[in-house]
C-alpha cells in the first residue's frame, strides 16, 4: 500500500478515510471474508477504492478486482501495489473472465446498485469453478429504508429477505444467510476461549435468550455455492472492532459534551436568576 491522495467520498462508495460506524460495517465484511479465501483465486466484484481487495490479497493466492468506474480503478492501481492484485475496469454483469476461472467471488454492497441482478448472479456463477463459493452482501430494504424513511440515491433496487433468498436460490442451490448490524451491547466473554455463544435481549421486563443476536439486521450477508459440500466453514457470530475503540470513544466524547453543555446551561440559568433578582431589588 502506497501513500496516495484519498479518493473523494461521494456517498456512493466507502473510502478508508471514513470513520466509526460506516467504517466498522465495511471493514468487518472484508475481514470476515479474508478468513475464507486463504490460498484461493478471488474476484472482488465492484471493488471501488480497492481497500477490500488489498485486505483479501493478504490471504488469497491472487485477487482480480474489477469496478465499472475507471477513476476508482486508476486510484486503486496507484494506492495498492501488491504483486497478487490485478485491478481491471469492467462491468460486473459482463465480466472479462473465463468460465470457472476463480475460486471465490466477493461482492459487497453491489447488488442494490443494479437492476440486472439475475444477470449479475449468473455471471458470478459462470466465473466460479464448480467447487467455488460466493460471498455477497446487500441491505435489508425493510430495516434500511422502510423503517427509517431513508432513500439512498445510489440504490437502484433494494431487496427484502425473501427476495434476496429467492435471487440466491435461482443461481446457487446452497447458501447460508447472515445478518449484520452495528449494535450497542455489553459483551461478556471467556478469557480462556471456551464455551458457547449466547445473546440476551430484554425489553425492560422480560428476558429472551438465544444463540445469536436477536435484533433485525441492517444488512444481509450470504455464503453461496453449487452444493452444501462447497460452502466454507463459518462461525455463527463474528465481532469486529478497532484497538482505539473509536465508536465507543466517540460515544463517550458526545456524552461528555452533553454533560458540559448541561452544566453551562445550569450556570447560565442560575446567572439569569441572580441578575433578575438584582433587577427586582433595584426596582424596589
Chain segment 78-132, per-residue pLDDT in tens = 999 899 999 999 999 999 999 999 999 999 999 999 999 999 999 999 999 999 9
Q: What's the rounded Cα separation, in Å, for the pair 245 and 229? A: 38
Per the model's pLDDT, the better-predicted residue between 5 and 92 turns out to be 92
Tell me: the pLDDT tens digits for 11-48? 556 666 655 677 889 899 999 999 999 999 999 999 99
What residues have CB less than 8 Å from 197, skipping those under 6 apart?
A: 211, 212, 236, 237
Q: Which of 158, 111, 106 is nearest to 128 (CA)?
A: 106
- Of 18, 93, 20, nearest to 49 by C-alpha is 18
Burial 195-206 (b: 16+ CB within 10 A, else e): eeeeeeeeeeee
pTM for this predicted structure: 0.85
Residues 186-210 pLDDT 10s: 899 999 988 889 999 998 889 999 9
Dihedral of alpha carbons 124, 152, 14, 31, sign: negative
Closest CA to 112 of 10, 231, 23, 13: 13
Amino acid at each position: 500500500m502506497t501513500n496516495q491522495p484519498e479518493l473523494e467520498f461521494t456517498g456512493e462508495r466507502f473510502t478508508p478515510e471514513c470513520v466509526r460506524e460506516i467504517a466498522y460495517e465495511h471493514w468487518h465484511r472484508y475481514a470476515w471474508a479474508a478468513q475464507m479465501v486463504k490460498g484461493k483465486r478471488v474476484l472482488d466484484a465492484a471493488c471501488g477504492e480497492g481497500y477490500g481487495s488489498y485486505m483479501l490479497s493478504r490471504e488469497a493466492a491472487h485477487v482480480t478486482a474489477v469496478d465499472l468506474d475507471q477513476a476508482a480503478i486508476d486510484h486503486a492501481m496507484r494506492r495498492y501495489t501488491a504483486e497478487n492484485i490485478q485491478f481491471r475496469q469492467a462491468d460486473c454483469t459482463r465480466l472479462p473472465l473465463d468460465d470457472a476461472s476463480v475460486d471465490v467471488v466477493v461482492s459487497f454492497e453491489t447488488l442494490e446498485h443494479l437492476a440486472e441482478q439475475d444477470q449479475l448472479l449468473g455471471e458470478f456463477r459462470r466465473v466460479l469453478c464448480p467447487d467455488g463459493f460466493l460471498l455477497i452482501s446487500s441491505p435489508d430494504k425493510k430495516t434500511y429504508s422502510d423503517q427509517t424513511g431513508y432513500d439512498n440515491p445510489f440504490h437502484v433496487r433494494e431487496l427484502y429477505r425473501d427476495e434476496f433468498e429467492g435471487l440466491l436460490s435461482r443461481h446457487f442451490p446452497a447458501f447460508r444467510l447472515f445478518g449484520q448490524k452495528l449494535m450497542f451491547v455489553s459483551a461478556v466473554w471467556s478469557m480462556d476461549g471456551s464455551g458457547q455463544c449466547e445473546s440476551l435481549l430484554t425489553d425492560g421486563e422480560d428476558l429472551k435468550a438465544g444463540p445469536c443476536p436477536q435484533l433485525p439486521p441492517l444488512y444481509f450477508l450470504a455464503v453461496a455455492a453449487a452444493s452444501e459440500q462447497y460452502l466454507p466453514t463459518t462461525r455463527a457470530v463474528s465481532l469486529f472492532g478497532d484497538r482505539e475503540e473509536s465508536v465507543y470513544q466517540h460515544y463517550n466524547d458526545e456524552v461528555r459534551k452533553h454533560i458540559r453543555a448541561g452544566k453551562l446551561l445550569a450556570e447560565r440559568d442560575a446567572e439569569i436568576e441572580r441578575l433578575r433578582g438584582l433587577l427586582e431589588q433595584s426596582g424596589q
